[in-house]
Structures are given as C-alpha cells and as structure tokens.
Structure 1
C-alpha cells in the first residue's frame, strides 16, 4: 500500500488576513458565495469589504445543521447567484457544509475558521447529520480544501475555552499517529503514514507543551502573541494534517464511547479527546514521565483529567463498560492500536486514568 499525505493546496495564517480573502480567491474566481452565520457575517464582512475590489460576494446565512436538506438548499442558492467559489466562514458545521456543496457542484472551496477549537478545517471530510441533528454518514471527499485562510486577530478573540478545546483535540494527534505507525495501520486517507505526517504530528505535541499555557493566558487577556499564533497553527494545521495523514487510534474511540453518557454532552469534542488521550496512554502502559507530562499539561490548561471533570459525578460500572464496548466497536479506531484491545481493557484504563487524575 502506498504512503499518502493529504493537505490543503494553500494554508494561509496571519493577523488581518481576512482583508485579503478576495485577493487570494482570485486564483479560483471573482464571484464568491460566502456561507456563514448572521453573527459571523457581522464579524467578518467589514474586513472582507476593505479588500473586495471588483469581486462579487453573495452572503448566505447558515441554517445550523450540516444535513442534505441544507446542502441542497445552499447548492440551489449558489446556482442562482452564479458563484464560482464556495467560502465557508465560521465553525465546523459551516465548513463541512461548504465542503460538501463544493464537492457536489465541482467548485473550489475556501475554508475560513473563526475559532481554533478543532482540527477539521484542513480535512477532506464532511460529517453529515439528519435534519434533526442525528449523525447520518461521513462524506469522504477526494481532496482537502483548495485553501484554508486563518485571520489570527479574529480567532484570538474567540472565548479562551474554545482555544483550549482545540488543544485537547490536538493533544491526541501525535499519540494516535504513533500507535498507527507501530501497528502499520492505514491513515484516514487510505494510505500508510509518511515521515512528513509523523514529523508534523510530533511538532504539534511539542508546540502544545512548549506554548499552550502561554497562549491560553494571552487569549484570556484578549491579545494575540506569537504563542497564540503557534497554537492556532498547531490546532488547525499541524493537528489537521497529523490526524488525517497519521491516523486515529484510542483517544478518539474513547471520545466516541463517552458520547453514550448524557452528562458529557455539555463538553466540547476536544475536551473529551484530551481525557481519551490519557486513557490511551494508560492502555499502552506508556512511560510514567510521558503520562505525567500529559497530565500536568491538561491540569494546567484546565482540560479534563477525571470522570468528574467530564460531568460524571457518579461512576457506574455498567455505564463505563458501555463506553468501553462502544469504543471497541469494529467500526471505530481502537483496532489501530498495536495490540488487541478488549472492552475489559478499556474499562480498566478509564478507571485507572481517572484515579491518576484524582491523585495528581
């Protein structure tokens, strides 16, 4: 099997870059269809207008769910506008809708995140839900977005917790890629891991450890420092390329299992993934210094390290076993670990990770 790495054709990040959207888009067209929320439009339209020049822009309000009904509606609006380029500005569901619309219409797509809470912007994937918000399917796309544009002035003004959640998601990247490399598992784009993808995943982890807390404190003060710039890149690009081209393993499977517990629904994806990373390390019997480094980072960043942090105040054995069984589903990614894993193993690792979190 071939080794494959996937990435956007262009990744652009910097302060004030929203003003340059139309200039960058000229490579693909001058008639832009911008999908965003009403509040998102208020935040970005004044900056985009400064660099609009001769470009035509049609703004369309996102209806809130990445479902086929919404995708078809947006396709119809885009067709009526005669737009050449799809632009998704906002968070994950807007990005996924924009990517799906561009795929079905065979048009280029530009993704513009206004938060750094996940590593989804760079991926060749859209998660499709029903109209009622129930997961329906993954839409695997033939390519990553044509361009990802990140204005760090805008992203750094988002709530601190969103940046920290992004760090929690990014925290898993290296450890899951390492597990996939050890087991010779396929990555998310159907190939083996390249050395480049592994290097990006490792750099992602090093950036979090070295600069994550500095970035968190800077965002709390509503400022954008070099540390913030580096963490935004780690959360968005390094983790995005690292997870998709490195592969997923235990941490995200644990996250998926945790969704069976209603109390965890109030937490962000990355917050649950952070705890899943600790569980994976315990499951592996990882070096104690490594586990303590991850634990220390999570506690300082205020990411969950115990079941209580996840909202699970009363630990019930059968409930945790259900999490373990779901995580071990053959349709999930625990099978990418370099050893056989049973639900009983996962249950023990969850309880042990919780005990470590409480001890430290």
Structure 2
C-alpha cells in the first residue's frame, strides 16, 4: 500500500491576521461568499469587509444558519450563485467551517477556513459532518481535497473561553498515540494509504508541544491575554489545529 500525506494548501497563523484576509485570499478568487457565525460577525464583520475592500475583492457576507445540513448548504449555494461568488470563506466554529467546506465542494470552488476557536483539529481536514435540520447526525462527507487555505487569528482564539482550548488539547493529546498505533499495525489512514514519516513526526511534535506548553497556554487563555504576548499559546493553537489535524488525518485515527 502507498504512503500518503495530505494537508491544507496553505496554513497561516498570527495575531490580527483577520486584518490581512484579503491580502492572502486574493490569489484564489475575486468574488467571495463569507459564511460566519452570528456571534463572530457581530465583532468581526466590519474588519472582514475592510480587508476584502482594501485588497480589491468583492465580498458577500451571510450568517450561518446554525446546522451543517443539506438544506443549509443548498440555501447558501443559492446566495453564492446569485452573487456570482467564485470562492467560499468560513469563519467561526466547527459546524460553520464544515458547511463552508461542503458548500465549496458542491460548487467546485476554492475554500478558505478561519477557525475562531482551537477546540478541535477538524479545520484542516478534508471532511464535513452533515446533520439534519434538527441537529441529528446524517452522514460523513469525505471531500477530495483539504481546504485551500486555513487562517487562524490567534488574538481571536485567545479571547475565546479557556474551556474550548482545553477541549482542543484533550483531543490533540491522543493524536500521537493513535498515529503510532496505526503506523505499527500498517492501518489505512483517512488519507487513503499508510502513515508517512512526516505525518508521524507531526503527531509526535503535537504531543510534545502540548506537554511542554499546554499548562502555560491554559493560564494565558484563562487570563485572556493576547496571543502575541504568549508564545506558548501560539504553539498550542498550532498544535491543536494544524499538527493534530494533519496527524490524525494522515497519521491514523483509532480509539486511544
């Protein structure tokens, strides 16, 4: 069996990077549909609009309906097609990001993902979890490609409830043990092949980073310090989001 690793086309992380969204997204498309959590749009919409405008991009912003359902995906597709959008940006939490990935897949356009919390490793993955309108599990949508770009504003993540960061740490801690078990057994990963050395190394780096920096990052998050003044928080956000994301998808996922 072949060895395969997959990951987002580009991963960008930094404090106030939301101010530079347009600059980074410009190479992908000129016209964008932004799907965002209502709460996030409440404090970030004007910043997003200015960033796109400064980059000479056209943007249509719409709030996420609340469930990553086929009906919600179809609703957003209607908005995107009416506005002639050539790419999708999802900004917010897990269901919003899954919806953006699924929407872009069905439209056949690029997608960028901007998580505002570091509670899971899903943002970097080629997977959307689809629910019914009532919030019941419907199906897994395995996507042919990972997001074109993942952009993480660590200042926004640092301001989120600390319990969300703790959830991400708990999730990411298991990545190394799952990847190691899959590597030893020769199991097939979500990438469709055996684990690569690179994926295994990222999974181990994820674990070591969390052991070294996790406690300091949690203290910073609990005090809502800005990420630019806490290197530990920056490293843990990267571990939760990128290292664990590539590690679980290309390293292997098993009960740990």
TM-score, structure 2 length as denominator?
0.96
Counterpart-to-counterpart distance in 2, 1:206 and 1:43: 34
1:122 paired to 2:127:
no
Q: How many residues align?
A: 251
1:307 aligned residue: none
Match of 1:25 in 2: 25
Partner of 1:337: none
Q: CA deviation at 1:48?
A: 2.1
Structure 2 stretches lacking a partner, 5+ long: none
Q: RMSD value over aligned CA atoms?
A: 0.9
Residue 247 (str. 1) matches residue 249 (str. 2): no
Aligned to 1:238, which of 243, 247, 252? 243
Q: Secondary structure at the match of 1:51?
A: helix
CA distance in 1 between partners of 2:135 and 2:92 (Å): 18
Correspondence for 2:97: 95
Query: 1 CA distance for matches of 2:58 and 2:79?
Result: 15
Which residue among 169, 172, 176 is the counterpart of 2:171? 169
CA distance in structure 1 between the partners assigned to 2:150 and 2:109 by the alignment: 15
Partner of 1:42: 42
Higher relative contact order (CA 8 A, sep 6+): 2
- Give the stretch that moved more between structures: 44-53 or 226-235: 44-53
- Residue 250 of structure 1 and its aligned partner are, at CA, apart by 1.3
* 104, 107, 127: which one aligns with 1:105: 107
Alpha-carbon distance in structure 2 between the residues aligned to 1:7 and 1:37: 24
Counterpart Cα distance in 1 of 2:137 and 2:59 = 32
Shift of 1:44: 1.7
Cα separation, 1, equivalents of 2:49 and 2:95: 24
Structure 2 counterpart of 1:198: 200
- Local SS of the residue matching 1:32: strand
On the 8 A contact 1:119/1:166 being kept in 2, the answer is yes
Q: How does 1:10-21 map to 2 (within 5 A)?
A: 10-21=10-21
- CA–CA distance in 2 between the matches of 1:214 and 1:123? 27
CA contact (8 A) 1:22 1:30 kept: no
Q: Are residues 1:188 and 2:194 paired?
A: no
Give 1:47 shift: 2.5
| TM-aligned CA deviation for residue 213 of structure 1 | 0.4
CA distance in 2, matches of 1:49, 1:61: 14
Q: Is the 8 A contact 2:49 2:59 kept in 1?
A: no
Structure 2 Cα separation of the partners of residues 89 and 148 of structure 1: 10
Q: Which has the higher strand share?
A: 2
CA distance in 1, matches of 2:46, 2:112: 18
Mapped partners of 2:43, 2:190: distance in 1: 34
Q: CA deviation at 1:171?
A: 0.6
Specify the SS of the correspondent of 1:162: helix
1:125-144 to structure 2, matched below 5 A, reads 125-144=127-146
What secondary structure is seen at the aligned counterpart in 1 of 2:28? coil
Q: Distance in 1 between matches of 2:65 and 2:220?
A: 33
Provide the rounded CA distance (Å) in 1 between the counterparts of 2:131 and 2:251.
Answer: 26
Q: CA deviation at 1:51?
A: 2.4
The CA deviation at 1:38 is 1.8
Give the Å deviation of 1:216: 0.2
Please say if residues 180 and 247 of structure 1, whose CA atoms lie closer than 8 Å, have aligned partners that are also in contact: yes
